[in-house]
Amino acid sequence: MNLHAVRAIYRFEMARALRTVMQSIISPVISTSLYFIVFGAAIGSRMKGVGGVSYGAFIVPGLIMLSLLTQSVSNASFGIYFPKFSGTIYELLSAPVSYLEIVLSYVGAAATKAVIVGLIILLTATLFVPLRIDHPLWMLAFLLLTAVTFSLVGFIIGIWADGFEKLQVVPLLIITPLTFLGGSFYSIDMLPGIWRTVALFNPVVYLISGFRWSFYSQADVGVGLSLGMTAVFLALALGVVAWIFKTGYRLRT
């Protein structure tokens, strides 16, 4: 493996985040802090706890997951789309760098940036609500698996998109709504029977449920099922990326 190439691309992508620190880090942290103020303090103070956890603390895993998903997708999609837009993707494809090394570089950088944002939001949340993490290792595992999986999704979107506006279509119209409807601000056990069944078809439910379990040892679905579904999403994303490089989809033209 060409570790020099992987390191060079990875460092370039991380350096881009430092050049746009306001957009990459500060903006999502401020936006999430507003959610804490509105939902955690203003609304949460008037609501009962959920499963013995205060409402403000209950929504923390969901808000971290919301930011993690959007940041993973946007970082990875823009990271690979810009070389396509500028034409430098052809130099990369003709260089002695394998497809695996390209994916490792771009996806690794996007996942790293998303995890950093998620951890900063976690630290910020401690300023607003009392938190506990019952299973810190599992929390980090869910954080990393989700960041890598959705960075792969963002990588696919960046290859598929043929304009800057398309980079926003999937995050705005699919991922963000699914996250809001996936139990970020409530437990799906609070839903009526039929709607709870419908919610189980939302893949984000399993991600948020497993992540929340790592905090408070309570989940809407079994932890094993959450891990299994996360592994399935990761495998599907890897399969699509492999197909893209095998066929040259949106890369050779």
pLDDT in tens, 133-174: 999 999 999 999 999 999 999 999 999 988 888 888 888 888
- As a whole number of angstroms, the distance between CA 189 and CA 191 comes to 5
Q: Rounded to 5 degrees, what are φ and ψ at 50?
A: -115, 115
- As a whole number of angstroms, the distance between CA 168 and CA 162 comes to 12
Per-residue pLDDT, 253: 59
Q: What is the mean pLDDT of residues 188-205?
A: 88
- As a whole number of angstroms, the distance between CA 157 and CA 106 comes to 13
The burial class, CB within 10 Å (0-12 / 13-18 / 19+), for 14 is middle
Measured CA to CA in angstroms, residue 39 lies from 54, 58, 107, 182, 187 at distances of 11, 11, 32, 16, 15
DSSP one-letter string for 42-58:
IIGGGS--BTTB-HHHH
- As a whole number of angstroms, the distance between CA 150 and CA 116 comes to 15
Per-residue pLDDT, 45: 63
CA nearest 229: which of 187, 194, 200?
A: 200
Is the predicted pLDDT of residue 48 greater than 70, yes or no? yes
**53 - beta bridge partners?**
50
Whole-number percent of the chain with pLDDT over 90: 38
Rounded-to-10 torsion of CA 20, 23, 29, 32: -170
pTM above 0.75, yes or no: yes
Per-residue pLDDT, 155: 94
Chain segment 207-225, per-residue pLDDT in tens: 999 999 999 998 899 999 9
Per-range mean pLDDT, top range of 5-19, 20-34, 169-183, 233-247 = 233-247
Per-residue pLDDT, 157: 94
Q: What is the mean pLDDT of residues 110-123?
A: 92
Chain segment 64-107, per-residue pLDDT in tens: 999 999 999 999 999 899 888 887 878 887 888 888 899 999 99
Question: Considering the chain, what is the average pLDDT of its residues?
Answer: 87
Per-residue pLDDT, 43: 67
